């Protein structure tokens, strides 16, 4: 691999601290908070493996590392998975991750929650925005689209620059399934959106053994574009999200 920029080296260092497939030590939680100064929180509930319906699901690699890096670059608050979880915060209600999220939003003036996830490399888009068809962030979906388009991700683009909007991953949940986005908007009344990032835009170096996306590695330049786009989005939402 060619020499990486300092922030990509930092991303790998942050992601290296995640215990992707190890439960937390007894008495400790599987997630951690990185406090910030902006009125926005970045969430990464699937940054480590997690249990859903009796099966372990592999981690959304580099989403915890990316969330933490974005927190360092922008000042956003971050809540991220740091160890394997025995539950799934983007599926079940009343889980400790959601309780912690509610506490943070109670304590800090957060006006928006951006929930980061990772999707498979076979997906025909680079990013997928989920806003419950606009319901989870009333009046702000256009702002988000505008910001992502201005940074090179567009609904009409092809391949990794393509932006899916509320089709593949609308973050809707169901009666027995509650997304983080659904919880933040529906229960806490704070605008929120989910963003799925293609594996080809985030896996810089393999750090965790696993079958999923085994041969996928991102071009460092593409990861730089994602970091730029997300930093711009965070600043824009932090500025405009004071409804």
For Zn ion, which stretch binds (CB under 5 A), given 57-65, 93-101, 217-225, 235-243? 57-65
- Residue closer to Zn ion by CB (options 46, 98) is 46
Annotate each residue in 156-175 with x if it binds Zn ion (CB under 5 A) or - if it does not, as one string: --------------------
Residue (of 61, 75, 88, 71) closest to 211 by Cα position? 61
Task: Count other Cβ atoms within 10 Å, centred on residue 9.
Answer: 12
For Zn ion, which stretch binds (CB under 5 A), given 54-62, 131-139, 151-159, 171-179? 54-62
Asked if residue 20 binds Zn ion (CB under 5 A), the reply is no
- Residue closer to Zn ion by CB (options 63, 225) is 63
Interface pick for Zn ion out of 46, 77, 82, 200 (rule CB under 5 A): 46
How does strand 112-119 pair with strand 31-34? unpaired
Q: What is the C-alpha to C-alpha distance for residues 84 and 62, in angstroms, rounded to an integer?
A: 14
Q: How far is the CB of 81 from Zn ion (least distance, A)?
A: 10
Q: How far is the CB of 45 from Zn ion (least distance, A)?
A: 7
Interface pick for Zn ion out of 59, 60, 61, 166 (rule CB under 5 A): 60
Q: How far is the CB of 119 from Zn ion (least distance, A)?
A: 8
Residue (of 75, 44, 78, 40) closest to 240 by Cα position? 40
For residue 154, give the DSSP letter.
B
Q: Half-sphere exposure of 19 toward its Cβ, with a 13 Å CA cutoff? A: 13
Residues 6+ apart with CB under 8 A from 115: 43, 44, 45, 90, 171, 179, 180, 181, 184, 192, 193, 194, 195
Asked if residue 117 binds Zn ion (CB under 5 A), the reply is yes
- Residue closer to Zn ion by CB (options 117, 123) is 117
Asked if residue 123 binds Zn ion (CB under 5 A), the reply is no
For residue 159, give the DSSP letter.
G
List of residues contacting Zn ion (CB under 5 A):
46, 60, 117
């Amino acid at each position: 691999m060619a020499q990486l920029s300092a922030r990509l080296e930092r991303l790998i260092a942050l992601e290296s601290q995640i215990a992707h497939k190890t439960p937390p030590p007894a008495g400790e939680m599987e997630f951690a908070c990185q406090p910030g100064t902006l009125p926005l929180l970045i969430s990464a509930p699937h940054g480590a493996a997690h249990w859903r319906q009796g099966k372990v699901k592999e981690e959304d690699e580099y989403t915890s590392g990316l969330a933490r890096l974005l927190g360092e670059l922008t000042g956003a608050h971050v809540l991220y998975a740091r160890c394997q979880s025995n539950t799934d915060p983007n599926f079940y209600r009343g889980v400790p991750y959601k309780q912690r999220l509610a506490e943070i939003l109670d304590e800090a003036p957060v006006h928006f929650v951006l929930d980061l996830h990772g999707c498979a490399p076979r997906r025909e888009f680079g990013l997928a925005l989920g806003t419950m068809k606009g319901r989870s962030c009333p009046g702000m979906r256009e702002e988000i689209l505008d910001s992502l388009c201005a940074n090179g991700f567009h609904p009409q683009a092809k391949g990794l620059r393509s932006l899916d909007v509320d089709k593949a991953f609308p973050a809707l949940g169901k009666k027995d399934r509650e997304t983080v986005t659904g919880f933040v908007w529906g229960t806490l009344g704070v605008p929120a959106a989910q963003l799925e990032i293609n594996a080809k835009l985030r896996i810089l170096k393999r750090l965790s053994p696993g079958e999923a996306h085994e041969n996928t590695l991102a071009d460092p330049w593409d990861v730089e574009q994602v970091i730029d786009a997300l930093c711009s989005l965070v600043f824009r939402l932090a500025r405009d999200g004071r409804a």
